[in-house]
Structure 1
Amino acid sequence: METPLPIKHELLDEHDFGFAKFWFYPNYIVGEFAEGADVSKEDSIGPITFIKRIYSTTVPFIYISNRKNSYSMDPMGYKDIVDMFPNLIGMAIVSDNKYRRMIATLEKMFIKKPIGVFHKLEEAYEWATQNIEELNK
């Protein structure tokens, strides 16, 4: 699978964990979960390790969730994972599926970070770029 975004920044790393694939950029992570994946907190150890290796707890980043596929994840576990990263400044959720977009709206109740919901990756990238630029002012 090719990198999903037309990001002008260098791709730092990419990794396929089986249940999901992640692309790591200087201030962005793009994640795509596999169709039918049932993701537990234990499954998240690999991606968490990669994120901490690349961004530690100081480099600000935005997570872009490209929800092309249907998968499940415990929302409370998701919140615990998000709380591990004080340098996560926001999340962008991309889906053209009405049901997945409604779920994204529910996630806003659990996660106290800016969350944008978009139809296209390019829109999410623009939103993320604006948030990173605001932080750097």
Structure 2
Amino acid sequence: MKFEDSSIYKELNPEKLVLPFGEFYLTDKFIVAEIYDGEHVDWSKIELLLTKIESFYKKNTKLAYISHRINDYSVNPQIWSHWENTFDFIVASAIVIYKSTTLMNASIEKVFANKSLKRCRSLEEGINWVNNLKEFA
């Protein structure tokens, strides 16, 4: 189920950002990312996304990133460490997993992440985890 079709979406009423490779929902504490099927996420896409996000939020805003993996796509796992070193406003990430292959990929990505990265089985689990992060207390 897409984030837009969830009851949480209706409660939060996020700002929607559409880029050529995915849809991103911007809330006060987190971003929900839904990358399109068949995409390969490389540094140029991450840089475009995070530059757009930076312009939306106030300076010194801290956010979490939730990768809602409803589609099949690939990610260069080394992006995580480069992203964390370049854009410090993302304090933690969650990957919502629906398939066993996605779990394997997320496990590899977790190895490259320096900040907290949680693998979740539902969007609700990911959002609850993010909402309880000590960075937002």
TM-score (norm 2): 0.85
Among the aligned pairs, what percent are the same residue?
A: 24
* Aligned 8 A contact 1:41 1:78 in 2: no
Amino acid aligned to 2:135: L
CA distance in 1, matches of 2:28, 2:84: 18
Where does residue 92 of structure 1 map in the other structure?
A: 94
SS at match of 2:132: helix
Shift of 1:89: 1.3
Q: Residue 123 of structure 1: which of 122, 125, 134 is its match? A: 125
Shift of 1:4: 5.6
SS at match of 1:83: helix
Q: Which runs of 5+ in 2 are unaligned?
A: none
- Higher mean C-alpha deviation, range 121-130 or range 45-54: 45-54
Structure 1 segments, 4+ long, off by >3 Å, are 7-10
Number of residue pairs matched by the alignment: 134
Q: Which runs of 5+ in 1 are unaligned?
A: none
CA distance in 1, matches of 2:107, 2:57: 27
Question: Is 1:76 the counterpart of 2:78 in the alignment?
Answer: yes
* Aligned 8 A contact 2:31 2:65 in 1: yes
Aligned CA distance change for structure 1 residues 23 and 4 (closer, same or farther; 3 Å): farther
Amino acid aligned to 2:103: R
CA distance in 2, matches of 1:119, 1:110: 20
Over the aligned positions, Cα root-mean-square deviation in angstroms equals: 2.0
Aligned CA distance change for structure 1 residues 55 and 98 (closer, same or farther; 3 Å): same
Question: Is 1:65 the counterpart of 2:67 in the alignment?
Answer: yes
* Aligned 8 A contact 2:77 2:108 in 1: no
SS at match of 1:44: helix
Where does residue 40 of structure 2 map in the other structure?
A: 38
Where does residue 3 of structure 1 map in the other structure?
A: 4
SS at match of 1:3: helix
TM-score (norm 1): 0.85
CA distance in 2, matches of 1:2, 1:105: 23
Aligned CA distance change for structure 1 residues 16 and 130 (closer, same or farther; 3 Å): same
